[in-house]
Amino acid sequence: MRWSPPGGSPRAPLWYHDRVLVLIAIPGSEACARDLGARLGARVIEPEIRQFPDGELYVRVDPRGGGIDVELGSDVAIVGNLSGDSFLRVAFLAGTVRDLGARRVGLVAPYLAYMRQDSRFRPGEGVTARYFARLVSSTVDWLVTVDPHLRRIDSLAGVYTIPTTVARAAPAIARWIAAEVDQPVLVGPDAESVQWVSAVAERCGAPFLILEKTRLGNRDVSISAPDGAWNGHTPVVIDDIVSTGRTMIEATRQLRAAGSAPPMCVAIHAVFADALHDALLDAGARGIVTCDTIPHVTNRICVAEPLADAVRERMG
């Protein structure tokens, strides 16, 4: 940040030679915000967020927090994911920093929540991916995320009306696989995974195959894997999200039944709605690793650099 106070008057506004980016860390995302801040040369504010006795949210952004002047027309990026009640935190933080004078307010959500209910599967269901996108678009000026779950919606522009930039995890995943797995054969557990699996395969020069999955319920999937000559290859199952883990567990089970070596499982977003580590090992997996879009003990693959590049792109 480069600035100089004009005229020596303590009341006069400071004069910026550059646009200034300030990051606001949603609780739980401090490490991600600090890492991004270091890469972008941006300062990080940790806001005060707590509950009033009645459970409503109290939000305060100290305008001088860490010597940072949010009120002087800086660009602000709120950093954190939007699961649980986090959307309300983002909405209140965005309102607060706009009141303090922020010029533009963006959102860096490494995992973009609410993308999977992208259609009305049963009469009367809400298409929450669309409603959520509308809410976020009316709250912040731009959005950066990592590999959103796009299936029946072609691109974020189909639902988000604000500018968006998508950071890709494929190069980092490809590097991890090249370093850690001998003779990998990449496996997508279902048709939509082809977008992530093919991108990784192209970068690490590995063959890939896509399985067929039928989802029978939230915690019930059926997957078919072809019998194959594995020729010493190790399967690496790649999916965008691991939530209940049923997809990874069933893919692993079917690959083992088809005669493969213990598969390595790689997911971009470690949602982990259920504890599944033991079940995955019992099914015959070698292990599971994830990218660090959601903090979790399985995080091994860092996507901070593509995320920082995406923010740079939004900052123009």
Query: Does residue 118 belong to the site contacting ligand R5P (CB under 6 A)?
Result: no
Query: Does residue 242 belong to the site contacting ligand R5P (CB under 6 A)?
Result: yes
Please choose, from the candidates 220, 231, 178, 221, the residue with its C-alpha nearest in 3D space to the C-alpha of residue 200.
178
The smaller minimum CB distance to ligand R5P, of residues 19 and 219, is found at: 219
The smaller minimum CB distance to ligand R5P, of residues 193 and 252, is found at: 193
Answer for which of 74, 244, 254, 260 binds ligand R5P (CB under 6 A) is: 244
The smaller minimum CB distance to ligand R5P, of residues 276 and 311, is found at: 276
Query: Does residue 113 belong to the site contacting ligand R5P (CB under 6 A)?
Result: no
Answer for which of 30, 192, 305, 309 binds ligand R5P (CB under 6 A) is: 192
Stretch in the footprint of ligand R5P (CB under 6 A) among 2-10, 49-57, 92-100, 187-195: 187-195
The smaller minimum CB distance to ligand R5P, of residues 269 and 314, is found at: 269
Please choose, from the candidates 275, 280, 291, 221, the residue with its C-alpha nearest in 3D space to the C-alpha of residue 256.
280
Answer for which of 22, 77, 78, 241 binds ligand R5P (CB under 6 A) is: 241
The rounded distance, in Å, linking the Cα atoms of 80 and 172 is 20
Measured between alpha carbons, how far apart are the two ends of the chain, in Å?
16
- Coil, helix or strand at residue 312: helix
Stretch in the footprint of ligand R5P (CB under 6 A) among 88-96, 139-147, 244-252, 295-303: 244-252
The smaller minimum CB distance to ligand R5P, of residues 116 and 130, is found at: 116
Stretch in the footprint of ligand R5P (CB under 6 A) among 103-111, 132-140, 225-233, 240-248: 240-248
The rounded distance, in Å, linking the Cα atoms of 218 and 243 is 10
Query: Does residue 247 belong to the site contacting ligand R5P (CB under 6 A)?
Result: yes
Query: Does residue 243 belong to the site contacting ligand R5P (CB under 6 A)?
Result: yes
The smaller minimum CB distance to ligand R5P, of residues 96 and 243, is found at: 243
- The site that binds ligand R5P (CB under 6 A) totals a number of residues, namely 14
Q: Which amino acid is at 21?
A: L
Could you give the C-alpha distances from 80 to 85, 93, 142, 295, in angstroms and in order? 12, 12, 14, 11
Do the bridges between strand 212-217 and strand 220-224 make them parallel or antiparallel, or are there none, so unpaired?
Answer: antiparallel
Query: Does residue 165 belong to the site contacting ligand R5P (CB under 6 A)?
Result: no
Query: Does residue 285 belong to the site contacting ligand R5P (CB under 6 A)?
Result: no
Q: For the residues of 44-103, what is the DSSP string, one character each?
A: EE--EEEE-TTS-EEEE--TTGGG--GGGT-EEEEES---TTHHHHHHHHHHHHHHTT-S
Contacts of 104 (CB under 8 A, 6+ apart): 75, 76, 141, 142
Contacts of 83 (CB under 8 A, 6+ apart): 111, 113
Query: Does residue 288 belong to the site contacting ligand R5P (CB under 6 A)?
Result: no
Stretch in the footprint of ligand R5P (CB under 6 A) among 30-38, 136-144, 185-193, 277-285: 185-193
Query: Does residue 245 belong to the site contacting ligand R5P (CB under 6 A)?
Result: yes
Asked if 198 and 172 touch (Cβ cutoff 8 Å), the reply is no
The rounded distance, in Å, linking the Cα atoms of 260 and 225 is 10
Note the residues at the interface with ligand R5P (CB under 6 A): 116, 190, 192-193, 221, 239-247
